[in-house]
Each structure stands twice: as C-alpha cells, then as structure tokens.
Amino acid sequence: MKTIIALLAALAWFSIGHAQEFPVKTVRLVVPFPPGGPLDIAGRLIGQQLSEMWKQPVIVENRPGGTLGPESVARAAPDGYTLLIISSSPLVTLPHMQKVPYDVLRDLVGVTQTTLLTYALVAHVDAGIHSVQELIDQAKRSPGKLNYASAGNGSGQHLLMELFKSAAGIDIVHVPFKGAAPASQSVMAGQIPIMLDVTTVALPLIRSNKVKALMVTGAKPLDQLPGAAPFDALFPGVGIPTWHGIFTTGGTPAPVLAKLANDIQTALHTSAVGDRFRQLGTEPSGVSGDAFNAIVRRDSERWGEVIRKNNLRAD
C-alpha cells in the first residue's frame, strides 16, 4: 500500500510540483523527546529558519516515549510534510534491543545529518568525584551503589555508559528518564550523581559550576573543556560516533527529498543556527542524501554488533 501511495505522491509532485514549489502548506517537525533537550533546541532553531525561508509554518511537535515519534513519521503520507529530528540511538540501537513498529531502513529515509555529537561525563559538584579515576575507584569500592542518569533505555547516553562500565570494569546502576532534560535536571539537583550528557546541555551547567566534567567522548580534548580527558584515549575503541539528523517518511519522492536536504543545509549554515550550535559546543554537519543513509546503515550494523557482544537489552 505504501508503495502505491509513494507512486501517487511522486506523480502528484511531477504534475503540479513545477507550478507550486514545495512546501505549499504547514510542515510538521516531530521531536521524540520533551521540550528543553538538545533535540528540541535544535529542532526549534532549524524550524524557525525553514519557516522564514518557506513562508510556511513549521510546527514542532514533541512526542516523547520511545518509538512514538518515529512511528508517527513512518506512518505518515510520503510527501515530505512530516519530518523527524532525532538522535542516532533510537534508530540504530533500539531496534537491536527490542521490537519496534517500523523498519528504519524501509519506513524512514534520511534527509540530512544535522550535527555530530560529543558527550561529557559529568558529576554533581557535591558528589565527591573529581576525575574519571576517582569515579572508577569509588565504583570499585562500592559495586552497585552509584547511579547514573540517561535519556532512556537505548539512548546514546545509556549505550555509551554501558560500554564505559565494561571498559572500566565497574558496576554502576542505570536510572533511565524520559528524555535528556529530566535526566540532566536530576543530576543538577543532586538526585543522581553522574551522567554522560550531551555537550550542548552540559556546557552551561559546567560553566555555572553545577556539575564537573570528568571526560568527553571522542579522540581529542574539547576546546571548551580542556580539563576533561578524551574518552577514546582512555578506552580505545569504546566510542562510536553519535549524531542528530532529520528524516521523513520512506517513499517520499526524490525531488522533495532533495529540496528538503538543500533547504535544511541552508538553514544549518545560517548564522542564527550555526553560531548557536557552536556556542553550545557542536558544529553543523554537511552530510545529506545517500551519504547520510549509508551512515545510518553502517552505524546500525556496528551498534548491533556491540549490543549483541555486551548482551544489552531495553527494559
């Protein structure tokens, strides 16, 4: 049925698309997490720029709850009017941990990668943990006593922390939240001592001395966090790149995909979006179309291998 709908959508595009340039009505941008997190911030920045470019409303719709956001886009009409901004984890890790009501590589199609992500391992300032080694030592003295927060089961925070635990040989307990914002708030409040937080969220908290950065993902130190040890240098081979990207419904006509990719890339590299991303500790990406979809396939294969090897499961 979706194939027939896609063909009809393609025919409609070619018959009227040259007379009426996409989009000609409201575009919906689904964020599968609550307001306030990094995806929500990025989605609203990009959506505002697109709305100004297109002279059409771009409505940001928060749909937290695991698979709800991706499923709503997977089941939408394949016409480009329903978009999904999402981190890599729900698409390339979660399907390896539990059954999901869509096929990522069939029911969704990547439009453009918006940014590569770095994470900072942070501890509340009163947790008594001032370095990665102190964290490891404390966890080994009291196995299963320390907790860490994440944006949810199968999130990048969860998976990378589980890899860190395995590499460091420690036992700390996962406390999942429904989104990055409430997880971060729990650490700010001192309810949970540590988390691996997206750098865009962690930087303001670090600068205000609410949390301390112990480590950053990647092979190199971050200029914004010169005292935080690089994850890959301490534990070679543990880190796998994570990203944010914008997707739409599988079967969307190629001309619509190309228009979306071009316009979103234009929005990403405006000063309003690009400068804000850099202030938050990240850079806009330039990867779109087939190259982006190849990354999705590659990362799904790599994470699937990691998940099977470490026997990781969603609750």
CATH value at residue 54: 3.40.190.150
Over residues 21-31, mean pLDDT: 97
Q: What confidence tens digit (pLDDT) does each residue in 186-244 have?
A: 999 999 999 998 787 788 889 999 999 999 988 788 888 888 988 888 888 766 678 89
DSSP annotation string for the chain: -HHHHHHHHHHHHHHHTTTSPSP-S-EEEEESS-TTSHHHHHHHHHHHHHHHHHTS-EEEEE--STTHHHHHHHTS-SSS-EEEEEESHHHHTGGGTS--SS-HHHHEEEEEEEEEE-EEEEEETTSS--SHHHHHHHHHHSTTT-EEEESSTTSHHHHHHHHHHHHHT---EEEE-SSHHHHHHHHHTTSS-EEEEEHHHHHHHHHTTSEEEEEESSSS-BTTBTTSEEHHHHSTT----EEEEEEEETT--HHHHHHHHHHHHHHHTSHHHHHHHHHTT--B---BHHHHHHHHHHHHHHHHHHHHHHT----
- Please report the pLDDT score of residue 11 as a whole number: 52
- Please report the pLDDT score of residue 15 as a whole number: 42
Q: What confidence tens digit (pLDDT) does each residue in 290-312 have?
A: 999 999 999 999 889 878 877 77
204 and 69 belong to one structural domain: no
Q: What is the mean pLDDT of the chain?
A: 88
* Boundary residue ending a domain (234, 263, 290): 234
- Please report the pLDDT score of residue 306 as a whole number: 79
- Please report the pLDDT score of residue 71 as a whole number: 97
pTM for the structure as a whole: 0.76
**19 pLDDT higher than 50:** no
25 and 79 belong to one structural domain: yes
**20 pLDDT higher than 70:** no
Domain presence at residue 84: yes
Please give the share of the chain, as a percent, with pLDDT higher than 70. Answer: 92
Over residues 70-81, mean pLDDT: 98
* Boundary residue ending a domain (189, 205, 234): 234
205 and 171 belong to one structural domain: yes
56 and 125 belong to one structural domain: no
176 and 103 belong to one structural domain: no
Strand order in the sheet with 173-176: 173-176, 147-150, 194-198, 119-124, 211-216, 229-230
- Please report the pLDDT score of residue 16 as a whole number: 45
Domain presence at residue 315: no
**Domain extent for 209:** 119-234
Number of domains forming the structure of the chain: 2
**6 pLDDT higher than 90:** no
51 and 69 belong to one structural domain: yes
Q: What confidence tens digit (pLDDT) does each residue in 242-263 have?
A: 889 999 999 999 999 999 999 9
Banded model confidence at residue 90, pLDDT cuts 50, 70, 90: confident
